[in-house]
């Protein structure tokens, strides 16, 4: 990779992503069934994921992100004056290993892309569907330098020696990350992305106009059903401020209707029997409580989703497939107390506006994004996923003081 300039690398990656953004691109078509089989997601959900992923990896977005974090793209190619009498260059850390998570489609591709932009050699622990390997094959077609620099393999457990890598980015549960960290060199950079949840917050200002509210809830419903509520960017709990304009019961009704429509666009995938049983049990419990005057539940005839209004506050979010708890609150303080009580750390908080107390709520819960509902499952390439930079972790600096 050292013989390529940063601009060449960026352009090759962007061109490869453009090809993968085409739903008829043959390599994409070939891996589609494998992704569906591995994740259990329906074809429309997988297509959405691939469109969102590769649609975000554009040349302008890559250049903008790198320049924002490093100051300029040129610093990857040569010593660049800093303005303080010194010059600096961002060098590769060496060989970077990216370990994918089980659920999120193509989650390893974005960190791998930035590691390559920093001129590192990259090894990715691919999933069984071979998505990353297929994308790397396309990169090699753009320039043969990627054939050696970008490698995707499938391995399990300790069959791979992680001590040989100079940087490791890993996605998974906190226990999984601890196990991986224990296998890495003490000198390696460890970039861990642990388990998080996301939440929605509907402000009372959004309740004053039902047309506006319907638009918010349509977007919320799509985010809710996508990926069967798995992954850190899915809304696992929603808070609705009490308002005389529109009571929480009406909001839940509108959300349920929007969820039915979203389920037509993004139907449920294949579920294990135990998953359906857990959802049915939660639905039966919610129905029993509703009959006793405690909260309400909303679902469809097939039981394909479950929305529970005001379940007991001493219970954590449902964390089930297409299941969502909705709580009526007076302010963000109520939401904060609930989430902190249950030890929920947020990745994203979706809201109709960036009201000051909403942003403060996100900050207090560790969120790295405050986003409209329609952007919940479409993070920007330059966004700091997990609160971390995109390329900084994959470079080491040399400064010249002469």
127 and 79, same domain (yes or no):
yes
Q: What is the pLDDT of residue 100?
A: 87
52 and 77, same domain (yes or no):
yes
Q: How far apart are CA 145 and CA 6, in angstroms?
A: 13
DSSP 130: -
CATH number where 258 lies: 3.40.309.10
24 and 96, same domain (yes or no):
yes
Q: How far apart are CA 174 and CA 256, in angstroms?
A: 33
Q: What is the mean pLDDT of residues 328-334?
A: 98
Q: What is the pLDDT of residue 236?
A: 95
Domain residue limits at 269: 197-371
Q: How confident is the model at residue 402 (pLDDT cuts 50, 70, 90)?
A: confident
Q: What is the pLDDT of residue 328?
A: 97
Q: Could you give the number of structural domains in the chain? A: 2
227 and 251, same domain (yes or no):
yes
pLDDT for 303-322, tens place per residue?
A: 899 999 999 999 999 999 99
188 and 49, same domain (yes or no):
yes
Domain assignment of residue 376, yes or no: no
Q: How confident is the model at residue 157 (pLDDT cuts 50, 70, 90)?
A: low
Q: What is the pLDDT of residue 158?
A: 59
Domain assignment of residue 377, yes or no: no
135 and 244, same domain (yes or no):
no
73 and 61, same domain (yes or no):
yes
The residue among 174 and 118 whose pLDDT is bigger is 118
Domain assignment of residue 223, yes or no: yes
pLDDT for 76-103, tens place per residue?
A: 999 999 888 899 999 999 999 999 887 7
pLDDT for 98-150, tens place per residue?
A: 998 877 899 999 999 999 999 999 999 999 999 999 999 999 999 999 999 99
Check whether 269 has a pLDDT greater than 90: no
Domain assignment of residue 1, yes or no: no
Would you give the distance in Å from CA 191 to the centre of its chain? 15
Domain assignment of residue 391, yes or no: yes
- Whether the CB-CB separation of 117 and 6 falls below 8 Å is answered with yes
Q: What is the pLDDT of residue 275?
A: 87
142 and 10, same domain (yes or no):
yes
Q: How far is CA 2 from CA 9, 91, 399, in A?
A: 10, 10, 19
Cβ-based neighbours of 199, under 8 Å, separated by 6 or more:
235, 236, 237, 238, 239, 335, 339, 344, 346, 348, 349, 350, 365
Check whether 336 has a pLDDT greater than 70: yes
pLDDT for 354-378, tens place per residue?
A: 999 999 999 999 999 999 999 999 9
217 and 325, same domain (yes or no):
yes
Tell me how crowded residue 44 is: count the other CB atoms within 10 A of its CB.
14
The residue among 101 and 385 whose pLDDT is bigger is 385
186 and 203, same domain (yes or no):
no
Domain assignment of residue 275, yes or no: yes
181 and 292, same domain (yes or no):
no
93 and 209, same domain (yes or no):
no
Q: What is the mean pLDDT of residues 167-182?
A: 92
pLDDT for 192-248, tens place per residue?
A: 998 899 999 999 999 988 899 999 999 999 999 999 999 899 999 999 999 988 999
Domain assignment of residue 319, yes or no: yes
């Amino acid at each position: 990779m050292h013989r390529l300039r940063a601009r060449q690398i960026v352009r090759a990656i962007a061109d490869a992503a453009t090809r993968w953004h085409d739903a008829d691109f043959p390599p994409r078509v070939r891996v589609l069934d494998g992704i569906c089989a591995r994740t259990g997601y329906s074809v429309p959900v997988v297509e959405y994921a691939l469109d969102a992923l590769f649609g975000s990896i554009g040349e302008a977005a890559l250049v903008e992100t790198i320049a924002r974090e490093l100051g300029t793209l040129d610093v990857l190619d040569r010593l660049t004056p800093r303005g303080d009498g010194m010059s600096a260059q961002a060098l590769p850390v060496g060989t970077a290993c990216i370990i994918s998570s089980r659920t999120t489609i193509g989650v390893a591709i974005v960190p791998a892309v930035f590691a390559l932009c920093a001129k590192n050699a990259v090894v990715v622990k691919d999933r069984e569907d071979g998505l990353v390997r297929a994308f790397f094959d396309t990169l090699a077609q753009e320039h043969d330098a990627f054939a050696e620099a970008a490698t995707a393999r499938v391995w399990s457990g300790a069959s791979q020696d992680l001590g040989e890598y100079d940087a490791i980015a890993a996605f998974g549960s906190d226990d999984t990350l601890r196990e991986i960290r224990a296998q890495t060199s003490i000198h390696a950079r460890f970039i861990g992305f642990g388990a998080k949840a996301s939440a929605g917050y509907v402000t009372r200002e959004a309740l004053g106009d039902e047309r506006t509210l319907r638009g918010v809830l349509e977007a919320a419903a799509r985010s809710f059903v996508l990926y069967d509520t798995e992954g850190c960017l899915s809304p696992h709990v929603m808070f609705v401020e009490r308002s005389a304009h529109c009571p929480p019961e009406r909001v839940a009704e509108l959300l349920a209707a929007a969820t039915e429509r979203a389920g037509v666009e993004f139907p449920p995938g294949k579920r294990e029997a135990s998953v359906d049983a857990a959802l049915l049990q939660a639905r039966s419990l919610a129905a029993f409580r509703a009959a006793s005057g405690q909260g309400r539940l909303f679902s469809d005839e097939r039981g394909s989703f479950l929305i529970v209004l005001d379940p007991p506050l001493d219970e954590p979010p449902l964390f089930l497939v297409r299941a969502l708890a909705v709580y009526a609150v007076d302010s963000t303080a109520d939401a904060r107390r609930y989430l902190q009580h249950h030890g929920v750390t947020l990745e994203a908080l979706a809201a109709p506006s960036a009201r000051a107390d909403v942003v403060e709520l996100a900050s207090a819960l560790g969120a790295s994004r405050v986003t409209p509902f329609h952007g919940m499952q479409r993070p920007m390439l330059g966004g700091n996923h997990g609160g971390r930079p995109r390329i900084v972790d994959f470079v080491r600096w040399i400064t010249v003081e002469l």
